[in-house]
Amino acid sequence: MGLVLKVRGQETSKIKIAWGDDQWDPPTYSVSRGLVSAAATKVRLVLNQISEEYMRQPNPDYSPFLTDLAQAGADLSSELFDAIDGDRQTAIDAKALIAQTTTRRPLTIHSDASIHVPWGFVFLGDPDAMPAPTRTIADFSDFWLERYSISTRFNPCNLMPNTARPRANFRILLALHKGLHERAQEHIPHERKECFQRIQRYQVGAVAEWELCRRKWREISKQDSVLYVYGHSDGTSIELDPAIDPNPKMEAVRFHNFFRKADASSASIFFLNGCVTGSGQDHDGFLRVTSMPGFYGFIGTEANVPNKFASEYGIDFMHHLCELGLSVQESYDKLRISHFPLSLLYSCFAHPHFRVEPVPKTLCNAGEPCDVHAS
């Protein structure tokens, strides 16, 4: 068992913090909700500056922003351990425990979805004593994202065994902003285009309108599934192409009702591939609405993400999860390295154990779609 952090919006002014693992169950403490939220906003401002660098510059480099990111992350860390109520010794002990962690270990965060913190960018070191950048992931060794394999979840009651879901009961549904998707496809390697074309051919396919998405969803709502959405987002809504869909914007609240399951015995997760899908305002965000019965969270972003990169990352994640049989956490950790540094803009809000049986190689021929659901 790894480390567990439970956060609750106790009231408008406080966040209740509870730490623990299999050998440690200390009393809780509370921190300032306003100060934590302000510090989280500063972190995302720097992340957006890094993203902007990769959108605008021919030879982008995150290293000029690293000290600012560390300072913002250090401020966030200070607020998370600055107890204003409850057991202050727990805050001291937890901060010391985190600082002493050297081997990467699991960290499961149970959030009530009223708090939107970019947990991976909490910083443990001294921002004024940063070593010279190496332009490798070692530059982030003092951020939580390197100390911990983080999974943030809304519903702690959604248990899932660490075994593969049967392939025969698995479906994929994709909702794509047609303009964004086609522009990104013009600039990605041919093998990735082929991979995504293959993924689109699995049941039940890709759509560009929410109403058609609803009809497709009804076909598979009782089955295990991955729902991949690629579009514009502001953290509280996600939008498809208005040139195709007359009602392109899907607010988080509507999203909640749109994808509700009548039968919660199956397991579904979302990949919400849009800007800042990991943020939100109070309970108005995607963490809560993707954790209703039968759902096990989502993969989302902490900042704006360049369109081409978002497409490449999304394709590779879907390939690892939906075809190779890797779990959510295995897919996330693998891409964290292979797509560095912009992979760090993605966070895991899904159950880490969700996995599907891999595509049988005997059913696939080079260059041919592999529809393993056909009878």
**Whether the predicted pLDDT of 372 surpasses 80:** no
For residue 99, tell me if it sits in a domain: yes
Q: What would the mean pLDDT of 324-331 be, rounded to a whole number?
A: 96
Mean pLDDT rounded to a whole number for the chain:
91
The answer to whether residues 87 and 198 belong to one domain is: no
Report yes or no on 138 lying in a domain: yes
315 shares a domain with 263: yes
Instruction: Measure CA 318 to chain center.
Output: 13
Quick one: 60 and 123 in the same domain?
yes
Tell me, yes or no, whether 162 lies in a domain. Answer: no
Q: Are residues 94 and 194 in the same domain?
A: no
Number of separate domains in the chain? 2
Alpha helices in 128-189 (DSSP H): 144-147, 178-185
Q: Using one digit for the tens of pLDDT, what is the confidence trace for 59-86?
A: 999 999 999 999 999 999 999 999 999 9
Integer Cα distance of 320 and 333 in angstroms: 11
Among 153, 177, 205, residue at a domain's last position: 153
Q: What pLDDT shows up at residue 10?
A: 66
Domain boundary among 104, 131, 153: 153
Is residue 293 situated within a structural domain?
yes
351 close to 153: Cβ distance less than 8 angstroms: yes
Beta strands in the chain (DSSP E): 3-11, 14-20, 29-32, 85-86, 105-111, 148-153, 170-176, 204-207, 224-230, 232-233, 237-239, 249-251, 268-273, 280-281, 284-285, 295-301, 346-350
**Mean pLDDT score, 196-218:** 96
Distance from C-alpha of 347 to C-alpha of 360, rounded to nearest angstrom = 29
What number is the average pLDDT over the span 284-300?
85
Could you tell me if 196 and 334 lie in one domain? yes
Q: Which two tokens stand for residue 322?
A: 């939906």
Considering the domain architecture, whether residues 81 and 198 belong to the same structural domain is answered as: no
Residue closest to 103 by CA, chosen among 141, 151, 54:
141
Q: Is residue 371 part of a domain?
A: no
Per-residue pLDDT, 369: 37
Based on the fold, state whether residues 32 and 112 are members of the same structural domain.
Answer: yes
Query: Both 359 and 235 in a single domain?
Result: yes
Checking if the pLDDT of 370 tops 70, the result is: no
Q: Kindly report the CATH number assigned to the domain that includes residue 173.
A: 3.40.50.1460
| For residue 153, pLDDT beyond 90 | no
Identify whether the C-beta of residue 106 lies closer than 8 Å to the C-beta of residue 151: yes
Residues 141, 229: one domain?
no
95-109, 314-328, 335-349, range with the lowest pLDDT:
95-109
Q: Is residue 370, in this structure, part of any structural domain at all? A: no
> Is the same domain home to 142 and 186?
no
**Whole-model pTM?**
0.92
| 159 located within any domain | no
Q: Which of 122, 153, 184 is the last residue of a domain?
A: 153
The average pLDDT across 314-333 equals 96
151-165, 251-265, 271-285, 359-373: least confident range: 359-373
Amino acid at 247: N
Residues 192 and 326 grouped into a single domain = yes
- The whole-number pLDDT of residue 374 equals 27
Same domain, 220 and 265: yes
For residue 179, give its domain range.
167-363
CA 311 vs CA 15, 302, 343: distances in Å: 35, 16, 12
Asked if the structure places residue 373 within a domain, the reply is no
Q: What is the pLDDT of residue 53?
A: 97
Question: Cα–Cα distance between 123 and 127 in angstroms, integer?
Answer: 8
